[in-house]
Amino acid sequence: MTQIYLVCTRSAISASALTYIINQSPQFYNVVHNNLWLREKGTQFENAVIIEDWWNIPNTFANTYNHDVRNNENIKLETLQNLCNKWENLNTDKHIALFTHATNTADIMQWRDEYNLPITVVTTIMGNNCYLYMDLFLKREFNFDMNEYVNLLNTWKYIYNQFLSQDMFWSKHADIVFEMNDWLNDPSVVYSGLGISHNHNMKFWLDQYKQLNGYHEWDIQLNNIENKCKTMCYIYGKYESLFNTNPAKKLFAIAILKSVQFHDTDLEQIVDNIQKTVRKQLTFA
């Protein structure tokens, strides 16, 4: 029986690229029907190149997987049953991955098991190595359609909240959880994690996707917002486990901001300044 892989996530995490990568497995339906690339108009961080979520959806399935299904944060049992029945009736003999904003993944998995639905639930988190992709994240999160960029403080508060609460939420109920680095560094991690056939050409496509979105290697010598956020995310991910409570983690995050925002370009000096603020030794390696 064919499976529907529901990629349930917040959009700015670049999970539309994850959905595309999954659908490029030879076991998945990936016939091109629509244009692949779309552009989201940016403000502070310029335009983002994104993927049309209906790029490979057959016209006969487009009414079933529509914008209401994609955007509904509380997907219903009847909707899931309809998706499964309609897809099975198309007789493609292929699986398909669908992007959705559904947050009720516990319900989805319960219904899947209770009604024997051919559904696999995939969720995504930022993860420790997400600092590498802050340029992609920021231009997706702060644009005319999403959030207004105010300043570095507000942006950093938004980011560390992803670590403190959103990552925990999205990893709670799923068949498999991917970190950003899992699919934005090496697509084979996705195929191996899901136990599906590999598409060995996807690394080339992924490099193109990142290039189109202005991806650059982390350079602590550059004082732009993207590299400051990369530096802060790197330090937070490296030492966050030393702090046992959310209030302590928040104080640590603010200490990171204070040290980074003053244009320090020496990582050891930044960490040393943070140690003095939080009064905890952070072993630099």
User: CA separation (Å) from 275 to 80, 110, 232, 255, 279?
Assistant: 50, 45, 14, 9, 5
pTM: 0.93
**What angle, 0 to 180 degrees and rounded to 10, lies between the N-to-C axes of helices 246-260 and 152-161?**
150
pLDDT at 282: 82
pLDDT at 144: 58
pLDDT at 263: 64
pLDDT at 143: 64
pLDDT at 45: 72
From its phi and psi, is residue 255 left (phi > 0), alpha (psi between -120 and 50) or beta?
Answer: alpha
Residue 166 burial by Cβ neighbours in a 10 Å radius (0-12, 13-18, 19+): middle
pLDDT at 95: 98
- Give the β-pairing of 119-125 and 176-179: parallel
Tokens 């992709």 locate to 133
Distance CA 233, CA 105 (A): 27
pLDDT at 47: 77
Q: 98 and 58 in contact (C-beta within 8 Å)? A: no
- Could you list the pLDDT tens digit for every one of the 285 residues in the chain? 899 999 999 877 889 999 999 999 999 999 988 888 887 776 777 777 888 999 999 999 999 999 999 999 999 999 999 999 999 999 999 999 999 999 999 999 999 999 999 999 999 999 989 999 998 998 877 765 666 767 888 999 999 999 999 999 999 999 999 999 999 999 999 999 999 999 999 999 999 999 998 899 999 888 888 999 999 999 999 999 999 999 999 999 999 999 998 767 788 889 988 998 888 888 755
Residues facing residue 123 across a β-bridge: 8, 177
pLDDT at 245: 93
Distance CA 85, CA 93 (A): 13
Contacts of range 167-170, beta carbons closer than 8 Å, 24 or more positions apart: 167/125, 167/126, 167/127, 169/103, 170/8, 170/9, 170/10, 170/123, 170/124, 170/125
- Give the β-pairing of 96-100 and 48-51: unpaired
DSSP 8-state secondary structure symbol assigned to residue 221: T
pLDDT at 281: 83
pLDDT at 79: 98
Dihedral angle computed from the Cα positions of residues 172, 120, 189 and 34, in that order, rounded to the nearest 10 degrees? -120
pLDDT at 266: 86
pLDDT at 279: 84
